[in-house]
Every structure is written in structure tokens, then in C-alpha cells.
Amino acid sequence: MTPETALSETVDVLAAQAERFSDTPSSAPWLVIASVLAAQQAATLALRAAGDSIPAQAGATELLLRAASKDRLPVPFTLPFGAQARQSFEGLVEARNQFMHPRGQIWQISDAPLWRGVRVAARTVRHLILTQPVLEDLVAPNQQNLIRSDLQTLDLIADFYDDPHA
């Protein structure tokens, strides 16, 4: 499987988990995992296309910070990843790590940090793959369409959870 296909499939899983969330809150860990993985995959694709050598053990946040560096991805490809976005994404990474490496604690993430992090992951994929890809053909047009559709689904669901009247 190519990295581009893997990203497209990850974003599809992410959208499916988001759709399940209201009926099946136990899907939250998989929503977290897919969000972090999708952002990592998008950053890796963009960085490799720009010729960046990615360390073998690069962490999720490190990959996004690399993509946000003008030295690694020149403007306009540089990922907008400010302090608030970083904090939201790191909340997802921490939740993922707690789930994947339990230490006798109950796993939990509340809705607000969950959806803030999901939005950051979606914006990362959107910017690096659809809006400002380093290469026009970084991802095939049919995969771009699938990713675009799945990200629209994520946006709608995140909007629902951000609505104070919901």
C-alpha cells in the first residue's frame, strides 16, 4: 500500500469513527488514534516531498513541528501550527499514548479537547494535502476527493459538538 493510499484510508476510518461517536462513545480511542495517525501521515508525505529527511523515531508532534518550520516546508506550504493548535494536538497524542500504553488508569478524554484535537488533525491534512501540497500530484485526484469528502464530514460533526445548543 502506498503512503498516499494509507493516508486516504486513515482519513476514511477517522470520519467513520467520528460518525459512530455519538451512538458509541467507546469509539473515542479509535477516533483519537486515527486523528493522530492522519496528521502524522500528511506531515510525513509533505516533508518527504520537500526532501526532508525524517528521523526514524520522530514523534507525532515533532512531525507537525517540522511541517510548520519554514526551513523544512517553505511558504506557502508551511503548516500553520501555532501554540493553541500544538496544545490541542498534544492533548490527542497524550490521550492516544494513555490508551495504547495503559498504566492502570482509566482512559478518558472529554469532548472539548477531543474535538479541538480532531479539528487540528483535519486542518493539518487539509492544508498539507489539499490546500497547499508541496507537489500538485502529491495525492491522486480520486484520493483527494475521498479525503475532501471525509474532512467535510469531520467538520460537520465537530461543528455539532462545538454547538452549545446541541
pLDDT band of residue 163 (cuts 50, 70, 90) is low
pTM of the complete model: 0.93
Higher pLDDT, 137 or 120: 120
**Rounded CA separation 109/64 (Å):** 21
Q: How far apart are CA 144 and CA 4, in angstroms?
A: 10
Q: What is the pLDDT of residue 165?
A: 45
Label residue 127 by pLDDT band (50, 70, 90).
very high
Q: What angle do CA 54, 60, 64 make, to 5 degrees?
A: 70
pLDDT (average), residues 120-138: 95
Q: What count of Cα atoms within 13 Å lies in the side-chain half-sphere of residue 116?
A: 17
Read off the pLDDT of residues 75-108 as tens digits, 9 standing for 90 and up: 999 999 999 999 999 999 999 998 988 776 777 7
Per-residue pLDDT tens over the stretch 25-52 = 888 999 999 999 999 999 999 999 999 9
Q: How far is CA 87 from the centre of its chain?
A: 14
- Give pLDDT, residue 137: 87
Cα torsion at 8, 11, 129, 161 (round to 10°)? 160
Which residues have C-beta within 8 Å of that of residue 64, sequence separation ≥ 6? 39, 40, 43, 79, 81, 86, 89, 124
Q: Is the peptide bond before 76 cis (omega within 30 degrees of 0)?
A: yes
